[in-house]
Structure 1
Amino acid sequence: MNTPAAADTAIPTTPAASRGGITSGLLLVLALLSAVAPFATDLYLPAFPTMAAELATDATSVQLTLTAFLVGISAGQLVFGPLSDRVGRVRPLLAGAVLCVAASVVAATAPTVEILVAARLVQGLAGAAGMVIGRAIISDLSSGKAAARAFSLMMLVGGIAPVIAPLLGSLLVGTLGWRGLLWIVVALAVAMLIGVIVVVRETHPAARRAEMRELRARTSAGKGELRSRAYLGNTLAFGFAFAVMMAYISASPFVYQVQMGLSEVQYGVAFGANALALAVVSGISARLAATRSVRGLLGLGLTLVLLSAVAVLIIALAPVPAGWLALPLFVAVASLGLVFGNATALALAAARHAAGFASAVLGALQFALAGLVSPLVSLGGEDTAVPLAGIMTGLAVIALGCFAVARRSGGSSTRLDVAEALEL
């Protein structure tokens, strides 16, 4: 179902330049906003055994600190996204940043695991504001190729944070301890707050909010966009593609160290190489988005992810050395650099009347699928990559299928140039 043409032409079309545009400083702050939550999720994972001992609790209770954070960040996006549509971007963003700093300090100093769980829940709720409103701000200021470029550049930080954070935590936990790692999160939250105060300005002012409220009252614009194939298809493609990466992250210690026989240092090198590849391809995608089809880049990325996942499955089932898994895993992770920024741009361009709510749904889906997928990759034990390969393949098929559905919706509801309907 497409957005009605009348609604499409009635969107307030204030030029991006007159609203300040996306400067490099703003983009850097938005990238930091998107990175704080993933770092808070993954940085302290290597310290779980130490935490259980120091807090005199069991592994299940320590794991609950992660679960509480994921619940908070999923729910928080659904709160702050729609709120920013109603009252503007800056006030909810500031409130979330202040609350995130306070909750982070409580978490780093928590004397008991119960207080730590509660603090992590609030930390997730508050940290979600930066992620969901950051995407909405980009959607306010740009669309089409410019938005795709901005989202891809933002993914250089936000997209690789879930990959880098566990590695960084493993290197620092021996020196800083688990509280030290959580103080790093405090520092990031403070930097986020300072960045919001100094750099971010309102991109969804009262006049624009009033115009959109009037437009939604006269038409089915907002609801129609959120039900459109363009929005739903690209949002689901993003979510399932992100789940591919989370499946890889969750299984990677067992695949590289147990099955391939790599040492901890060698695993860190391999893990870092994949993260670097994701960052490099995200940068390439940002450059290509200026001259190539955004849909074409996304379709290419999803196709490469699927082919790589199938290769992982074939190798996992075949009587060959497990070391062969390294190449298709590398390609799969790198190819996601063509997916995240472009899928986000296409999804939010299809729902410009309700960018905050659209961003909230995209983000909540991202973490909900990640939470569901992560435990599944270990179902077959630590000595086989078949569950990982099967899950990656299934997720990639679904993501590519959702993209195909979105592509059938045509170009008008995505507000991209006609030329972008062409393939690479």
Structure 2
Amino acid sequence: MTTETAPAHDAPQAEHYRGVWLTVLLSLLLGFASISTDLYLPALPSMAASLGASQGTLELTVSGYLLGFSLGQLFWGPVSDRYGRKVPLLAGVAIFAVGAAGCALSTDAFQMIGWRIVQALGASAAVVIGRAMVRDLFAREEAARVLSTLMTIMGVAPLLGPILGAQILAISSWQYIFWTLVAIGLVTSLGVVRTTESLPRDRRMDAGLGSAFAHYGQHLRNSRLMLYAGVLGCFAAGVFAYVAGSSFVFIQYYRLSPDAYGLVFAAGIAGIMLANIVNRHLIGRFSSDSLMLTGTFVRLAAGLVVLGVVAAGSDGLVVFTVGLAVFVAMNGLVGANAVAGGLASVDHGTGSASALLGFAQYGGGMVGSALVGALADGTPFPMAIIIVVSAVATIACAATLKYMKHPDSAQP
């Protein structure tokens, strides 16, 4: 079992990274995963009609993206441990922009799915390297606070994403949503060029790239890291079942307009931002594992409310919507604490550890979104049952972490 060590960096560099500029950049990088999908969610029904595809096929654009995102992180993590954070980050953002352009030019659903995978391979660099940069600079408790702050700020992206997507759709075609993502990639690359490398040469892997990839073997034997990965994966399965299925549920089943759906989706993101603020203030008074476990129980309760409304066969739109918003909001208590705990369980190969956590998270999301597409029957039931099952599995992993003995943590 590895022990937590504080990142080794000098005070001037630390102060530089605590500046507003890097906070904004990290928020943008960590927001790549959500903005890449949330922006086009209101357009899914119109895209299905335009491309001549079914609901289930178009939902594969979400699971295909998550497939590329999961696999991409396994590559970018070790590469950033060996060659530093900045150059791989620039390469990833460039690939993201190319993939988004390919989506805009797609003429059928399968082209769209393919380009979404390319887009995800690039976007994965932003998230995995962004999280590794946080661990480069901060120890566990501070890293959890920083991640909560970043998630609160980056919550603006998915909060506004569906609303902005609906507005683009109102005045133009769905293709312009992807051209907007190309522009976001170009702006981000300029920010990366301006920032300072967080992993200096004397802290990089001395051996070849193969040795960097070999860290995965060590990580897979780290039981605490694997349990944190389990928390993220099980949690994400429910969240992305919601992401993939919610536009069809609210727009086609409940007959909401794309604008109204954007507001419903935004309610959940606002909840995440609020929960992250609460999490930031409670860390120190309670252990991060305790806060994470609390979030998983609240999440299960919300999921049961959603399933109950669906099983009752009643309208219950308001209760259904509130239950989903609370379910999504618990990412604010679960996500930052799980990532910080996982990264704190290693002292070497931080990039590959971040990649493994990301692989579990978005791999779980891929499973959840694929299942909701495969089981789609025109009702909210498949989405609701996946949400509840994922909540139970998340509690199992979080409870094991909370009560297992671990000499590498000073928390109670």
Pair 1:311–1:50, CA change in 2 (3 A): closer
Pair 1:206–1:358, CA change in 2 (3 A): same
Task: Kindly provide the CA deviation profile for residues 220-276 of structure 1, in whole angstroms up to 9, marking residues without a partner as x.
Answer: 997545422221111211221122222223333455456656555544333322221
Distance in 2 between residues matched to 1:374 and 1:247, nearest whole Å: 4
Distance in 2 between residues matched to 1:334 and 1:48, nearest whole Å: 23
Stretches of 4+ moved more than 6 A in 1?
52-55, 60-64, 111-115
Unaligned runs of 5+ in 2: none
1:155 aligns with 2:161: no
Distance in 1 between residues matched to 2:115 and 2:219, nearest whole Å: 36
Post-superposition offset of 1:72 = 2.5
Q: Tell me, what secondary structure is at the counterpart of 1:352?
A: coil
- TM norm structure 2: 0.84
Distance in 2 between residues matched to 1:338 and 1:13, nearest whole Å: 24
Question: In the alignment, what sits opposite 1:312?
Answer: 306
Distance in 1 between residues matched to 2:104 and 2:248, nearest whole Å: 29
Pair 1:116–1:251, CA change in 2 (3 A): closer
Which residue type is aligned with residue 35 of structure 2?
F
- Judge which range, 133-142 or 332-341, deviates more: 332-341
Question: In the alignment, what sits opposite 1:241?
Answer: 235
Query: What pairs with 1:163-182 in structure 2 (closer than 5 Å)?
Result: 164-182=160-178
Among candidates 35, 39, 56, match of residue 39 of structure 1: 35
Which residue type is aligned with residue 120 of structure 2?
G
- TM norm structure 1: 0.82
Tell whether the 8 Å contact from 2:166 to 2:259 is kept in structure 1 after alignment.
no
Which residue type is aligned with residue 393 of structure 1?
V
Which residue type is aligned with residue 32 of structure 1?
L
Identity percentage of aligned residues: 32
Tell whether the 8 Å contact from 1:16 to 1:142 is kept in structure 2 after alignment.
no
- Judge which range, 127-136 or 277-286, deviates more: 277-286
Task: Kindly provide the CA deviation profile for residues 342-362 of structure 1, in whole angstroms up to 9, marking residues without a partner as x.
Answer: 111111111231111111122
Which residue type is aligned with residue 388 of structure 2?
T
1:303 aligns with 2:290: no
Aligned residues: 403
Distance in 2 between residues matched to 1:46 and 1:320, nearest whole Å: 25
Among candidates 391, 395, 398, match of residue 403 of structure 1: 398
Among candidates 262, 282, 287, match of residue 276 of structure 2: 282
Post-superposition offset of 1:122 = 2.8
Task: Kindly provide the CA deviation profile for residues 132-175 of structure 1, in whole angstroms up to 9, marking residues without a partner as x.
Answer: 10011111111221110111122225567556533432232131
1:345 aligns with 2:333: no
Question: In the alignment, what sits opposite 1:85?
Answer: 81
Bigger Rg over Cα:
1
Pair 1:16–1:306, CA change in 2 (3 A): farther
Unaligned runs of 5+ in 1: none
Question: In the alignment, what sits opposite 1:294?
Answer: 288
Question: In the alignment, what sits opposite 1:183?
Answer: 179
Query: What pairs with 1:58-207 in structure 2 (closer than 5 Å)?
Result: 58=53, 68-109=64-105, 119-158=115-154, 161=157, 164-199=160-195, 201-207=196-202
